[in-house]
Amino acid sequence: MSPSSFNRRQILASSGMLAALAAAHPLSAKAQGLSSLSSRGLSSTQSSETNPTPASPADSPLAFDSDGTFRVVQFNDTQDDHLTDRRTIEFMGQVLDKEKADFALINGDVISSGPKNATQVYQAINNVVLPMEERGIPWAVTFGNHDEDSAKEDGTGVLKPQMTEFVRQYKHNVNPADDAMYGVSNGRLEIAGSKSATPAFALWLLDSGAYAPESPAGQSTDGLKAYDWLRPEQVQWYLETSAADESRYGAKTPGLMFFHIPTFEHHHMWYGQQYTSKDSGHAEAVKRHNIVGEKNEDCYTGLFNSGIYSAVFQRGDVLGIYCGHDHINTYMGNYYGVELGYGPGTGFGPYGLHDGTWDQHTLRGARVFTLDESAPRHYAGTHTVFAKDYGIDMNPVKQPLEAPAAFPEYVTEI
């Protein structure tokens, strides 16, 4: 079975083993550290020895409002073709309006394997970024395991570097440019304070890859989670960038970290155990880690533990690590001082809860983060919102657009 033909609906229905595998990207050259992209108000992955002048709040695309607040919306797994289910777009728009978003992220699996040519790839992306772009809300994407499936299955020729170049044409996109580090568009977004040029908060965006190598070191991965993982150079970049930031500003900047595939610690937190998935430890884990939300499928981690949680725990600046990937898991908790959680699957196209029934779309949702300069470390908390509570049609039958949305006049295919 090819990785792109693998469908977790089959796993959920039959409790079978994950058998989908693919060749991973070759390790890229070591990243060059940190520099400021002052024209976009971001940090990318260039030399950590540079010490650029901080962008002022007026220069930065991200800044706390005059009342000292900032609202982040995390969408996940919009995952559809060029005829996106109209309810995905309707829901995203309603969330952005009701939650008064200051920034929005699609945290991986922006599109599905459905597009059959390059134009359809770009149309699929365009459909789900327009809710932010048309409202003038700064936005970014990270990438998941399905974003390149159409290139592998149908030869569309559009890989993540081209997708990044494409989205960076949008006026309100804040994705960093691609670089030499493993993955695509890794970066750190600074949110300026309402009255200060010093960043008050940071958003870390990482590419957690797609699938593990087919036979690492010539060995089978049967019975294991065969997804990709963050590479040591990405973890090292975070550590070096975090330390450089502390040196530059005299203090650690609090932040949140986003990538698609969950960590091993997401699993351990839920079960209160490391080496089993037995429910016997969950009740105690709920009390210990203040877990809220649902778990309706396994935690489909990477093949190896990347060590990103350990790095974040050590540095103490990232307050939470939030992922997607597992569409019908919505939980979060505090795992030894670091929040770990999921953004629920947003898109109405991929698998959901009890596929084919009226429950299928009941967990289509988004996660919202409230930042407040008056709160400890400028973080006031997070909550989830669901399409079922917005009056969105829950019919399990797909409702595709009649035609893809038009590109903005300033956006062209790459």
- Give me the tens of pLDDT residue by residue for the chain, a chain 414 residues long: 334 434 454 444 433 333 333 333 333 332 233 333 333 445 555 433 333 333 333 445 899 999 999 999 999 999 999 999 999 999 999 999 999 999 999 999 999 999 999 999 999 999 999 999 999 999 999 999 999 999 999 999 999 999 999 999 999 999 999 888 999 999 999 999 999 889 999 999 999 999 999 999 999 999 999 999 999 999 999 999 999 999 999 999 999 999 999 999 999 999 999 999 999 999 999 999 999 999 999 999 999 999 999 999 999 999 999 999 999 999 999 999 999 999 999 999 999 999 999 999 999 999 999 999 999 999 999 999 999 999 999 999 999 999 999 999 999 999
Cα-based torsion angle of the residue sequence 387, 391, 397, 398 in order, rounded to the nearest 10 degrees: -60
pTM over 0.75: yes
275's tokens: 């080496």
Phi first, then psi: what are they for 49, rounded to 5°?
-85, -10
Nearest to 44 by CA among 204, 173, 163: 204
Reported as half-sphere exposure (CB side, CA atoms, 13 A), residue 118 has a value of: 10
Is residue 158 within 8 A of residue 119, CB to CB? The reply is no
pLDDT at 42: 55
pLDDT at 4: 40
CATH of 37-390, one of 3.90.1150.10, 3.40.50.2000, 3.60.21.10, 3.40.50.2300: 3.60.21.10
Q: In a 3-state reduction of DSSP, which class is residue 249?
A: helix
The most distant pair of C-alpha atoms in the chain lies apart, rounded to whole Å, by: 57
List all residues 6 or more positions away from 342 whose beta carbon is below 8 Å from its beta carbon: 76, 262, 266, 293, 322, 323, 324, 326, 329, 330, 331, 332, 367
Taking the C-alpha atoms of residue 328 and residue 330, their distance in angstroms, rounded to an integer, is: 6
User: In a 10 Å sphere around its CB, with 0-12 CB exposed, 13-18 middle and 19+ buried, how is residue 370 labelled?
Assistant: middle
Q: How many other C-beta atoms lie within 10 A of the C-beta of residue 397?
A: 8
pLDDT at 44: 55
